[in-house]
Amino acid sequence: MQLYIGLATTAGIFIGILTALLINRLTNLKEEKSRLKKRIETLSIKEESLNSKKKKYQNDLNQIMEKWEEEEKERAREEVENFIERYVGDEFIEPIEELTDQKLNTIFSRYMDCEANEYHKNQLQLKKDEIESKLAKRIAKEFVKDYDKSKEEIDFEQLKRDFKKEYDITDLDEKTSNQLAIEIHKKDTRPFYGVDLFSEIYDFPSSIIQSDAAVISQTERKLQEKEQFDRLNMKLIETKTKLQSLKREKSHLEDKLASLNPSEIRGYLKISLLTIFLSVIIPILIPVLNNFPFSIVHSSHLLAIEPVLPIIIFGSWIIGLLIVFFYILRSISEF
């Protein structure tokens, strides 16, 4: 009997070690969950702050880009107006019946000595009616000026046929027809004088005349805006990089928090109960029951296994201790 109690006492020591490990593990689990939650909350606050900065930098950049876009549109408008004022009807003269959008863009690019951008093309479309009117007026003047002056009366229909033959066109645009009629009326009522090309070429609109100081001021402003844009863009890139790193860390911590499952601790507790039963309760309970004078204890079944009873008790004790050793080693290896 003393031997069995000694076995149970020895097993109780190891079970106490396992229980201590379980309690320590449970405590560490709670502390780790608390630490992770606090860290995730801190990262969430930083994430919100970085998102606000990102939004601000992006809005500031958008404002600068919108301003540049408006300036590009305004510059394109002025350049197209300058093109109409100085070039259309002077160096560029041709029937509007042959003027396509592609051809107009090509002529403008040649005038600017660079490829027309989308803002130029949009402005050319908006001003196309004005361009056609100016071309029709100029070409009608040139044609009527050199038309047969020997005729006392001019047949307008014949004039239009002669015009189409001269410029090898099939159909006459309404603008051209109207301008021919206007020029014929002018020719019949007063002498016809040529166009003052010098005044047309060099009479620049006041809106495009700028002083050197104004040009320098605009250049300095654009340089400052470009520097500001570069700084904001760099800050935006840095903020996005920090935000991505923060999100990765936060996602990693959230996964780690989700992996801290107390069900594993419950499994350890079940093993502890099994070990207590095998290594403590059985070595004490069976000898105690064997000494009771009850008939049920001294039944034929128990009497049959009495010779091997010590082996059963010792085997149960060994199995319980092996389970304890296994889980102790497992707990140590996880540190």
Per the CB < 8 A criterion, the answer to whether 127 and 84 are in contact is yes
At 219 the pLDDT is 78
Residues 275 and 318 in one domain: yes
Domain assignment present for 96: yes
Q: What is the Cα–Cα distance from 294 to 109, expressed in whole angstroms?
A: 118
Domain assignment present for 226: no
Residues 53 and 112 in one domain: no
The count of residues in the chain is 335
Residues 111 and 195 in one domain: yes
How many structural domains compose the chain? 2
Residue ending a domain, choose from 181, 209, 237: 209
What are the Cα distances from residue 119, in Å, to 72, 87, 105, 125, 136? Answer: 7, 19, 11, 10, 25
Q: What is the Cα–Cα distance from 309 to 302, expressed in whole angstroms?
A: 9
Domain assignment present for 15: yes
pLDDT along the chain (335 residues), means of 10: 61 67 77 90 93 94 92 92 90 88 92 91 93 90 74 75 87 87 69 35 41 64 88 94 93 86 66 69 63 50 57 71 71 61
Domain assignment present for 229: no
At 131 the pLDDT is 92
Residues 60 and 103 in one domain: no
At 1 the pLDDT is 53
Residues 109 and 204 in one domain: yes
Per the CB < 8 A criterion, the answer to whether 159 and 151 are in contact is no
Nearest to 83 by CA among 123, 28, 27, 137: 123
- Looking at the DSSP bridge assignments, the partners of residue 88 are 92
Q: How many CB atoms lie within 10 A of CB 6?
A: 11
Q: How many CB atoms lie within 10 A of CB 137?
A: 19
At 206 the pLDDT is 43
Residues 201 and 105 in one domain: yes
Residues 95 and 60 in one domain: no
Residues 98 and 189 in one domain: yes
Nearest to 138 by CA among 82, 87, 102, 188: 87
Q: Whole domain around residue 308: which residue ranges?
A: 2-64+245-333
Give tens-digit pLDDT for 304-323: 555 665 676 667 767 776 77
Residues 96 and 29 in one domain: no
Give tens-digit pLDDT for 133-168: 999 999 888 888 877 655 566 778 888 888 888 888
